[in-house]
Structure 1
């Protein structure tokens, strides 16, 4: 009984201390986010678009592809809040459904590029023998503008929503590789990592237990910022006719269609373009707020 009590006295206080420290760190993080007005504004903007897009089948007043030529090119009104297009389709409805496509494209691009980029960045930063080969290839990719690279990839893979998402994801990979590699290079030289290697801990365990948790903050910040950039790139591809194809709505495609009617129906271009701008702004504000909250060097 005495031995068990001694063991419990050694174990439980540590677990309680770890739990308390984790809760305090979360509380401090939330306090920093609440104090950052930009992050709050960005969060509210993103919450609005995410909820409206997710609930599009419920809140959309009209079927997404329903045509009514009698109502074609009508301006904003009580019946059609954001007006109608050349086929009499409700712009507000098409923006709701288009937001689902645009946000999905951004999510897919960031998830795929983050997975590939983080993996290559960890390998390059931890296994120095492979560093030069990965970074030389990464530097070659970074010489191309991201949009130009995405267009080239779509030209090879073919036009379509899936290929556009893959193209945007590949164009974002170099950013993740460079950021993660830089963080891993500094972490791998720390004493606790060297001690783990000295006692024979396997490399993959060191990466999972010590490397990845310590590079999580820059990854989260970069992913938030790249989310907005990916949506903008995806919208640009759709604007060029390389992404989502008609009659399916997507914000970039809606802007492309509306540009032919600028003098007659300015609302066809203004509102989808405004949605793209606000979402990108929301992610940038949120990313800046996360950077200030997660970076211990920031004041």
Structure 2
């Protein structure tokens, strides 16, 4: 008697896999991306659930416990006002991650729009790219400081400044992709059929630059958090007593000799989050590359 053949299983295995299922499979095989994702998941969880997980309130001063080193009572020590460093790092993750999210969202939205316009409508391409070249002529941090000098010191202005400094990266990536796609034969054919430009951009051009933009956003997320923390460290971003990692490191530098933990642990949090985004971004770049099998 011949064994039964499971046709449904064979058909399922023979069916072509979707692009995103292949990407997810590649991503699961990339240990660097998994480590980066694990680091980010850890910080996201402790930040979101900070009111539940934080062992101490962040705004109550306990002068009798000031400048205590790491111990069983305070795992990461206390600051100059006796506030628990671990609790402040948990709450600070909300501010730092939100700064990165807002900066990347603004930069990504504006950069993609300008990149598409620049690449598709060549008449105004020169003007947009000249503006981007001017922005790229300045180091990102220096440009952000100059923008804050105009807008004023504060958390919101710091996010706007970081976003403006990041916009040129998106414009150049999207513009390059649009320039190569708009000359393809199928785009010319769609134009000949009378399809409007907006529909061509959304349906035929956007999917081609979506992958590079996702990778760039992941990498720029870490860069934006680092830039925002740098601005706070310089006293231009989040202001005390806001528990932001860069601002905490700035306050801790005055006590570096006798209370090293005040700057070390917020600095480690910044380093780990940026590392997590870089590892995840590298993994996404490899997984989304259609040339890899």
- Name the TM-score, length of structure 2 as normaliser: 0.94
Aligned: 1:87 with 2:81 = yes
Q: What secondary structure sits across from 2:42 in the alignment? A: helix
Which one of the candidate residues 225, 240, 259 is aligned to 2:219?
A: 225
The offset of 1:78, in angstroms, is: 1.2
Write the distance in 2 (CA, Å) between the matches of 1:165 and 1:294: 29
1:130 matched residue in structure 2: 124
Which one of the candidate residues 161, 166, 183 is aligned to 1:167?
A: 161
Write the distance in 1 (CA, Å) between the matches of 2:291 and 2:18: 18
1:200 matched residue in structure 2: 194
The offset of 1:30, in angstroms, is: 1.3
Write the distance in 2 (CA, Å) between the matches of 1:276 and 1:287: 16
2:177 matched residue in structure 1: 183
The offset of 1:167, in angstroms, is: 0.4
Write the distance in 2 (CA, Å) between the matches of 1:192 and 1:101: 46
1:51 matched residue in structure 2: 45
Give 4+ residue runs of structure 1 displaced > 4 Å after superposition: none
Which one of the candidate residues 204, 218, 230 is aligned to 1:236?
A: 230
- Name the TM-score, length of structure 1 as normaliser: 0.92
The offset of 1:193, in angstroms, is: 1.1
Q: Runs of 5+ in structure 1 lacking a partner?
A: 1-19
CA RMSD, Structure 1 to Structure 2 (Å) = 1.2
The offset of 1:24, in angstroms, is: 2.8
Structure 1, residues 168-190: CA drift from partner, whole Å, max 9, x if none?
00000000000100011111111
Structure 1, residues 90-135: CA drift from partner, whole Å, max 9, x if none?
0001001111000000000000000000000000001111111111
Q: Runs of 5+ in structure 2 lacking a partner?
A: 1-14
Q: What secondary structure sits across from 1:215 in the alignment? A: helix
Aligned pair count? 280
Which one of the candidate residues 35, 45, 64 is aligned to 2:29?
A: 35
